[in-house]
Amino acid sequence: MGTAKTFMLLAALTALFMAVGYLIGGVMGMTIAFVVAAAMNIFSWWNADKIVLRMQGAKEVTPDHASPMMRTFANDVARLAERAGLPAPRVYVIETPQPNAFATGRNPDNAAVAATTGLLGSLSREEVAGVMAHELAHVQNRDTLTMTVTATIAGAIGMLANFALFFGRERAGLIGSLAIMIFAPMAAALVQMAISRSREYEADKRGAEICGNPLWLASALQKIERGARASINVNAERNPAMAHMYIANPLSGRGADNLFSTHPATANRIEALRRMAAEMGVSSETADAPRQQAGPWG
């Protein structure tokens, strides 16, 4: 995503934040909202990755981690990063049965990747490599800062809109307050979608190049979509503004390419990866073997 487009999208979120502030408290409310938004942008630049990881319940995998599987996972991520020409990111695990993953951090030198225990427990080692290569592609494309800051501001817009119901009645009236409460978060979500959906295809493509086999990621996406439908990611449900950061929608698992989807249709992503595999001369048999394995390293 170009720098100009990213700036415009983040500016749109900030303007929306100020508009809600104006509707609640007039010029004074807008001024306060501007100051808060500016402070949030600065704070998010340095700390949003830590906030996101904490809110998602992520635990770091250290070199002396007790689990050999987790150490192997971290080593695989480091090798993928080396292949991509990136510094090794910090590696985290989230305790939830839903298979999913995301990346965060303001730049490649301060990046972190996180995978759920459901992902590590239900995908093969090759499929996990495809997923983590996708997340490293976000790091390399410098999407992670935009994703993280957007999540922070969008969440704040939702909170501010809720305040409107209690503190904005005098200025906007009950109907106006209800409209703010409904449409402000919806508008913020639309901006998130504009940022998120355009990034995923590019990250899929670059991730496939990093891991060397587009079909590993295609196979992983199929399993992730099924798993997202079958299980609930509690931390993501509590913080829906961060849903766009995951490789697949952690809230519903729906794959439809529609106005209110934070992710492109999984079927469309898989088809693009299969076309890429054909262009690279990768056989479909290469991806079939991992699917027959019971677990990531079993």
Summarize pLDDT for 36-50 with one digit per residue, the tens. 777 776 776 677 788
| Average pLDDT for the chain | 78
| Residue 85: band (very low, low, confident or very high) from pLDDT cuts 50, 70, 90 | very high
Phi then psi for residue 6, to 5 deg, are -60, -45
Residue 264 is given by DSSP the state -
* 98: nearest Cα among 215, 282, 243: 243
Is the pLDDT at 226 greater than 70, yes or no? yes
pLDDT higher at 119 or 13: 119
Selected catalytic residue, list 135, 200, 225, 285 = 135
Give the model confidence (pLDDT) of 124-174 as tens digits.
999 999 999 999 999 998 887 777 666 666 666 666 666 555 554 454 455
Q: Which amino acid is at 165?
A: L
The C-alpha atoms of residue 121 and residue 104 are separated, in whole angstroms, by: 22
Single pTM value for the model: 0.76
The C-alpha atoms of residue 129 and residue 143 are separated, in whole angstroms, by: 19
Distance of CA 175 to the CA centre of its chain: 34
135 is catalytic: yes
